[in-house]
């Protein structure tokens, strides 16, 4: 008996290792493909990186010198080798548009974006899932209609507009929340961020007044983002749930005399949890990838605006690493939800 | 747990208390501005308005423009200067107490090194120095160190001294930099360029303390400044890209100054007793350029017809309200030699005249062409307006909007039919624009003079070239102004450039700001008081 278990155990480990290496291989191929495409797009775009540095009034000699400095006179394959070599060493150089080292910039903007995205995701999940379940359980009743209208608004209202209205009402008229920016100027010098996640830093340093001010500033943009993401999560939850509630096992559970609450949460919800995980993970990826409009209205120094500004200015030193980050983020989130699937879904465990 | 509750209640009280008040500190200036354009603080590279403004507040030049009159040159780092009898040598005496922010004294060697550095680095601002006859070959003769406090500038060509002081000495490209300090910071032979991208090493009233791209620029007063200490100990420029958000911050009192104002908000600001608007005419023109090497724009009558297709007055009351004044001539109002306001804006909407001109040129049935635009907010509505009026005459114009580096690339490569863009000049003298938009001495493709819009449009007028040369070397100001007057009138209707508006800078200020010191080229942070 023990013999058999040991055998299946080693068999499982072997299969897991196999799956893991296959997964890694495919990730590497995907990443290489992503790099190659980014490189090609960078060369195909009609943007002139030399003029992005030197400006409209540059002399012809300065132009030629700079394009040599940037390696643009080399054959394409050599440029690609340099490009890959820099990427492997995480050396993205200085940004043309911000003058800073891209790695330093990225650490700063990613901190701002992660903080905003996590809070927005919390709001979206805490509200979205119960609302979706409620709508499905009360299918066709007023609760369902209410949720559907609410999510429709969340889906279709432009975030830019929502953000401005929010600022006018809650900041300018009522003064309940902070205005654009991450922190009031008054606090800017009392507080030295360490990780880029200001909320975490201020809490660790015990600076509660700063923490309060940070919350005041983040709450509105996070709510606006959370509201639109909530709409997506609630709609998906509702449709997953409706599908489950029409299954025969639900009927059986009801026939056994299980309460409505138990049927919904104990039986049906457990079956949609895995699917919901993917939805939440994807929402998070979209939030991280950039929320340019919200960042613009709220002057939030995040990843989305950084990426877009770089793109508009033809700053390939920014565009390349940002494209890769977005790519890696999606690959990672897919991978994590894949792994969680395996753990949570008993059918995939074998 | 108890700690958690205390923390929470403290955070909550912070939340409530800070909402109630909204005022900036009395000795600090908080400004909101879209400063996306800043890409460097190296004086050899800076060209865009925000960084340029900050550079002049952190870095002193030997002589400067007077805060009250940009055409007047006043002493700055140099307490005095003398001009030789032949007007070919200017000798500057540097202030004894002038120090860089590092504490190092400002020596003549720093001045000479910085000017040579600009030529050797050969970045954005080197071309301007070459325009005035200084280059790598003659720089050792041109920039001379007589002793620690005496610097001598030898003119290589007989330009008027006043012009050289304005265009070269008072310009950012000649800013004296801290040589000893930068040599320590240099990476390879970059002359400290890497360091200066995000820092300053100068002798001005302020020091660049912090620049987080897309977030904030913080300037603080320099401990070693030779002049009077500014009233504002710290200047914080917050990057707020959205004008509506700037407006809300200003109305709440969270900022003192808003720099990006929508035309539509101007009236509301004027009605608000807590806010006042200061309007400054910039040395910046909204214009169009046409490729004269191909049909239909090889015929000046077609371009003249375009000039009659804009409803300047109507636009001034709508899209351009508060944003600019009509200006149809290449020299901006306010510069030396510029035509008067009325004389410089003679065009009116006249579609019949435009039609007649097109017929004369053989385009009675119209034609089609493309217009390239950059992504600035003013070009699009103006181009749209032109497209509508042109279509009434059968002219089909197709607008293509693109990133400015793409637009410049096509424009410089003579690869366009027409463009609409903005041009800024840093010189309050007609020569600034004439040297770019009127002169073209070699129109051949081989010359590759892509710096000059005249070359880009394949246009050259020998008569204008002659007038420009006469003007630049004319020592009598009255005669010089007269040559420029004639040149402008000729250029206005014959060139491939259609000038539309001279742009304004509107600044909205909280009433607490008692004085805000600015003119077309500079804003003096040390003249701002609350």
Q: Which residue of B has its CA nearest to A203?
A: B7
B266-287: per-residue pLDDT in tens? 888 989 999 999 998 999 999 9
Work out whether the CA dihedral B8, B11, B16, B17 comes out positive or negative.
positive
Whether residues A185 and B238 touch (CB distance < 8 A) is answered with yes
Helices A269-289, A303-312: axis angle to 10 degrees equals 50
Whether residues B252 and A168 touch (CB distance < 8 A) is answered with no
Chain A to chain B, count of Cβ pairs less than 8 Å apart? 186
* Residue B493 structure tokens: 């209707």
B353 to chain A, closest Cα gap in Å: 34
Whether residues A95 and B213 touch (CB distance < 8 A) is answered with yes
Q: Which residue of B has its CA nearest to A160?
A: B242
DSSP bridge pairs for B359? none
A265-290: per-residue pLDDT in tens? 888 888 888 888 889 988 888 888 76
A214 to chain B, closest Cα gap in Å: 9
- Strand pairing of B324-326 and B78-83? unpaired
- With a CB-CB cutoff of 8 Å, which residues 315-334 of chain A face chain B? none
d(CA B122, CA A65): 9
B422 to chain A, closest Cα gap in Å: 11
Q: Band of the pLDDT at A8, cuts 50, 70, 90?
A: low
SS (H, E, C) A127-152: HHHHHHHHHHHCCCCHHHHHHHHHHH
* Residue B130 structure tokens: 């070459």
pLDDT at A348: 66
ipTM of the shown complex: 0.79
d(CA B40, CA B194): 9
Q: What is the CA radius of gyration of chain B?
A: 25
User: B244-248 long-range contacts, Cβ below 8 Å, gap at least 24?
Assistant: B244/A164, B244/A167, B244/A297, B245/A164, B245/A167, B245/A179, B245/A180, B245/A297, B245/A298, B245/A299, B245/B32, B246/B32, B246/B33, B247/B508, B248/A167, B248/A168, B248/A171, B248/A172, B248/A179, B248/A180
Q: What is the mean pLDDT of residues B354-379?
A: 91
**Percentages of chain A per state (helix, strand, coil), in multiples of 5:** 80, 0, 20
Does any CB of chain B come closer than 8 Å to the CB of residue A95?
yes
Give the burial class of B446: count Cβ atoms within 10 A of its Cβ; 0-12 exposed, 13-18 middle, 19 or more buried. exposed
Of A51, A179, A212, which is closest to B248 when you measure between CB atoms? A179
Q: Band of the pLDDT at B18, cuts 50, 70, 90?
A: very low
B246 to chain A, closest Cα gap in Å: 8
* Residue B475 structure tokens: 């020592």
Whether residues B242 and A180 touch (CB distance < 8 A) is answered with yes
A124 to chain B, closest Cα gap in Å: 23
Whether residues A56 and B197 touch (CB distance < 8 A) is answered with no
Place of tokens 């804006």: B345
pLDDT at B215: 86
In order, the DSSP letters of A21-57 are HHHHHHHHHHHHHHHHHHHHHHHHSS--HHHHHH-TT
Whether residues A208 and B11 touch (CB distance < 8 A) is answered with yes
Place of tokens 């970059």: B190
pLDDT at A350: 53
Contacts of A317 in chain B (CB under 8 A): none
Whether residues A62 and B127 touch (CB distance < 8 A) is answered with yes
Burial state string for B128-152 with b = 16 or more CB within 10 A and e = fewer than 16: bbbbbebeeeebeebbebeeebbbb
B45 to chain A, closest Cα gap in Å: 8
Does any CB of chain B come closer than 8 Å to the CB of residue A209?
yes
Q: Give the residue with greater pLDDT, B245 vs A260.
A: B245
Q: Is the per-residue pLDDT at B14 higher than 50?
A: no
Query: How many whole angstroms from its chain centre is CA B24?
Result: 29
DSSP A170: I
- Looking from the CA of B363 toward its CB, the CA atoms found within 13 Å total 26
d(CA B277, CA B258): 9
The mean pLDDT of chain B is 90
Whether A282 and A342 have beta carbons less than 8 Å apart is answered as no
Q: What is the mean pLDDT of residues A330-345?
A: 78
Whether A236 and A152 have beta carbons less than 8 Å apart is answered as no
- With a CB-CB cutoff of 8 Å, which residues 36-55 of chain A face chain B? 45-49, 51-55
Of B47, B218, B405, which is closest to A51 when you measure between CB atoms? B405
Burial state string for B184-215 with b = 16 or more CB within 10 A and e = fewer than 16: ebeeeebbbbbbbbbbbbbbbbbbbbebbbbb
Q: What is the mean pLDDT of residues A36-62?
A: 75
Contacts of A108 in chain B (CB under 8 A): 212, 215
B125-171: per-residue pLDDT in tens? 888 898 899 999 999 999 999 999 999 999 998 888 989 999 999 99
Q: pTM of this prediction?
A: 0.83
* Mutant choice from B3, B13, B14 vs A, greatest count of A C-beta within 10 A: B14
d(CA B94, CA B106): 8
Q: Is the per-residue pLDDT at B221 higher than 60?
A: yes
Burial state string for B348-375 with b = 16 or more CB within 10 A and e = fewer than 16: ebbeebbbebbeebebeebbebebbbbe
* Residue B84 structure tokens: 């030789």
Contacts of A214 in chain B (CB under 8 A): none
- Looking from the CA of A274 toward its CB, the CA atoms found within 13 Å total 13
Q: What is the mean pLDDT of residues A219-246?
A: 91
- With a CB-CB cutoff of 8 Å, which residues 148-207 of chain A face chain B? 164, 167-168, 171-172, 175-181, 184-186, 188, 203, 206
Report in angstroms the alpha-carbon separations of A126 from A133, A137, B393, B466: 12, 17, 61, 76
Whether residues B24 and A215 touch (CB distance < 8 A) is answered with no
Sequence-distant (6+) residues with CB within 8 A of A267 are: A244, A249, A250, A253, A258
CB-CB neighbours of A233 under 10 Å:
26
pLDDT at B95: 94
Contacts of A158 in chain B (CB under 8 A): none
Residue B91 phi/psi, 5-degree rounding, is -110, 125
Whether B519 and B280 have beta carbons less than 8 Å apart is answered as yes
């Amino acid at each position: 008996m023990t013999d058999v278990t040991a055998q299946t155990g080693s068999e499982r480990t072997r299969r897991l290792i196999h799956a893991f290496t296959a997964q890694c291989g495919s990730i590497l191929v995907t990443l290489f493909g992503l790099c190659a495409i980014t490189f090609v797009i960078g060369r195909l775009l009609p943007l002139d990186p030399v003029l992005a540095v030197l400006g409209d009034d540059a002399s012809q000699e300065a132009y030629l010198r700079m394009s040599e400095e940037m390696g643009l006179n080399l054959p394409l394959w050599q440029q690609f080798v340099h490009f890959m070599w820099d990427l492997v060493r995480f050396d993205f150089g200085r940004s043309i548009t911000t003058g800073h080292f891209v790695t330093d910039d990225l650490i700063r903007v990613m901190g701002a974006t992660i903080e905003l995205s996590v809070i927005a995701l919390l709001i979206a999940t805490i509200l979205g899932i119960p609302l979706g379940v409620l709508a499905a359980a009360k299918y066709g009743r007023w609760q369902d209609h209410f949720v559907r209208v609410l999510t429709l608004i969340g889906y279709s209202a432009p975030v830019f507009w929502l953000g401005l209205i929010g600022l006018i009402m809650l900041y300018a008229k009522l003064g309940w929340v902070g205005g654009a920016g991450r922190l009031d100027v008054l606090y800017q010098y009392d507080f030295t961020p360490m990780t880029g996640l200001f909320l975490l830093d201020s809490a660790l340093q015990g600076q509660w007044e700063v923490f309060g001010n940070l919350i005041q500033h983040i709450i509105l943009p996070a709510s606006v983002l959370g509201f639109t993401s909530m709409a997506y999560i609630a709609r998906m939850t509702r449709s997953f749930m409706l599908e489950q509630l029409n299954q025969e096992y639900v009927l059986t559970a009801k026939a056994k005399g299980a309460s409505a609450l138990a049927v919904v949460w104990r039986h049906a919800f457990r079956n949609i949890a895995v699917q919901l995980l993917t939805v939440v993970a994807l929402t998070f990826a979209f939030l991280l990838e950039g929320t340019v409009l919200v960042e613009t209205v709220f002057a939030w120094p995040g990843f989305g605006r950084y990426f877009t500004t770089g793109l508009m200015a033809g700053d390939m030193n920014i565009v390349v690493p940002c494209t890769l980050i977005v790519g890696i983020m999606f690959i990672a989130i897919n991978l994590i939800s894949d792994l969680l699937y395996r753990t949570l879904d008993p059918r995939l465990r074998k | 747990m108890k700690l958690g509750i205390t923390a929470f209640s403290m955070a909550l009280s912070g939340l409530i208390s800070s909402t109630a008040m909204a005022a900036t500190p009395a000795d600090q200036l908080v400004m909101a501005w879209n400063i996306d354009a800043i890409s460097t603080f190296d004086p050899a590279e800076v060209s865009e308005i925000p960084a340029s403004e900050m550079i002049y507040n952190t870095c002193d030049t030997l002589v400067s423009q007077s805060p009250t009159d940009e055409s007047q040159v006043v002493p700055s780092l140099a307490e005095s200067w003398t001009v030789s009898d032949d007007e070919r040598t200017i000798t500057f005496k540097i202030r004894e107490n002038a120090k860089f922010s590092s504490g190092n004294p400002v020596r003549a060697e720093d001045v000479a090194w910085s000017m040579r550095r600009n030529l050797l680095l050969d970045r954005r601002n080197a071309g301007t120095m070459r325009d005035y006859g200084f280059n790598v070959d003659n720089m050792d003769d041109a920039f001379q160190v007589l002793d620690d406090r005496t610097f001598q500038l030898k003119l290589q060509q007989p330009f008027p001294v006043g012009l050289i002081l304005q265009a070269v000495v008072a310009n950012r490209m000649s800013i004296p930099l801290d040589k000893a300090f930068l040599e320590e910071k240099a990476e390879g032979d970059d002359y400290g360029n890497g360091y200066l991208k995000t820092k300053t090493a100068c002798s001005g009233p302020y020091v660049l303390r912090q620049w987080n791209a897309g977030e904030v620029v913080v300037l603080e007063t320099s401990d070693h400044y030779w002049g009077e200490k500014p009233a504002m100990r710290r200047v914080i420029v917050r990057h707020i890209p959205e004008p509506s958000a700037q407006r809300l911050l200003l109305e709440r009192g969270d900022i003192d100054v808003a720099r990006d104002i929508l035309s539509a908000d101007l009236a509301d600001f004027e009605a608000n007793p807590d806010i006042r608007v200061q309007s400054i005419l910039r040395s910046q023109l909204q214009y169009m350029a046409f490729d004269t090497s191909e049909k239909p724009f090889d015929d000046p009558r077609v371009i003249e017809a375009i000039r009659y297709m804009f409803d300047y007055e109507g636009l001034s009351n709508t899209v351009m309200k508060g944003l600019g004044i009509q200006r149809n001539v290449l020299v901006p109002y306010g510069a030396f030699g510029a035509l008067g306001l009325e004389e410089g804006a003679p065009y009116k909407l006249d579609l019949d005249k435009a039609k007649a001109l097109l017929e004369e040129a053989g385009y009675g049935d119209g034609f089609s062409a493309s217009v390239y635009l950059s992504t600035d907010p003013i070009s699009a509505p103006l181009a749209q307006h032109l497209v509508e009026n042109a279509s009434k005459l059968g002219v089909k114009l197709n607008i293509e909007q693109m990133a400015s580096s793409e637009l410049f690339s096509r424009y410089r490569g003579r690869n366009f039919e027409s463009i609409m863009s903005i041009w800024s000049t840093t010189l309050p003298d007609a020569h600034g624009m004439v040297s770019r938009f009127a002169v073209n001495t070699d129109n051949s493709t081989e010359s590759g003079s892509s710096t000059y819009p005249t070359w880009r449009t394949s246009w050259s007028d020998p008569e204008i070239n002659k007038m420009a040369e006469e003007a630049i070397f004319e020592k009598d100001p009255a005669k010089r102004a007269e040559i420029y007057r004639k040149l402008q009138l000729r250029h206005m209707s014959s060139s491939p450039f259609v000038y539309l508006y001279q742009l304004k800078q509107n600044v909205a200020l909280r009433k607490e700001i008692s004085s805000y010191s600015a003119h077309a080229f500079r804003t003096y942070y040390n003249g701002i008081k609350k």
